[in-house]
Structure formats: C-alpha cells, structure tokens
C-alpha cells in the first residue's frame, strides 16, 4: 500500500493505493496519528484502492471519529467493489462516500 498525503491549509487529502488490510493498516494508523491537531477536514481518495478489510474499516471509523465536530470527513473515488463493503457494513449511511 502507498499513501500520499497532501495538505492545503487545514485540509488533508490522503490518496491510498493498493490494499488496506491487516498488514498495511498500521501504516495508515501511523499517518492518522501524525495528523496535525489543527486539521479540520480529512479526505480519503480511494481511486486506486483495490481492497479494504475489516482492519481497514476500523481505521476509516477511527478517522471519521477523529474528525467529528470539525469541517468534515469524506471518502472519494470509491470503486464499486470497495463501495460494496461499505454498503454491506452500513458505513455508507454514516460516512460521506462518493463513487468513481
């Protein structure tokens, strides 16, 4: 997995490529814990995310909770396969998710 973070003021976009699973989740967890406390908006760009496991979903929820009460948290460019995982778990009802 590869993570490219882009910061514009207090907005951070993380482009995540590859698989977000048990083996790669600690890498994203490290990136999330390193976020500046002044970050008010977080966007996950999943244009190149091929797979997400329960470990990846756990981190998505952690990021969602971390951004609660701030400007927002979004997931963009989600493939149909990854969206199906969010839909099956009901996460699509709570989180702003935009398909490709």
Q: Is the pLDDT of residue 71 over 90?
A: no
Burial class (CB in 10 A: 0-12, 13-18, 19+), 13: middle
Can you give the CATH number for the domain in which 72 is found? 3.30.750.24
Per-residue DSSP letter, 44:
E
What confidence tier does 83 reach under pLDDT thresholds 50, 70, 90? very high
Total of domains in the chain? 1
In a 3-state reduction of DSSP, which class is residue 25? helix
Global pTM reads 0.94
User: Cβ(62)–Cβ(32) under 8 Å?
Assistant: yes
Q: Domain residues for 73?
A: 2-99
* pLDDT above 90 for 68: no
């Amino acid at each position: 997995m590869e993570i490219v973070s882009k910061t514009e003021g207090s907005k951070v976009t993380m482009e995540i490529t590859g698989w977000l699973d048990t083996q790669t989740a600690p890498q994203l967890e490290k990136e999330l814990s390193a976020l500046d406390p002044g970050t008010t908006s977080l966007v996950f760009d999943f244009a190149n995310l091929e797979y997400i496991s329960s470990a990846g979903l756990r981190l998505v929820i952690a990021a969602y909770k971390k951004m609660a009460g701030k400007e927002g948290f979004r997931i963009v460019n989600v493939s149909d396969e990854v969206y199906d995982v969010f839909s099956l778990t009901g996460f699509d009802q709570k989180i702003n998710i935009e398909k490709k």
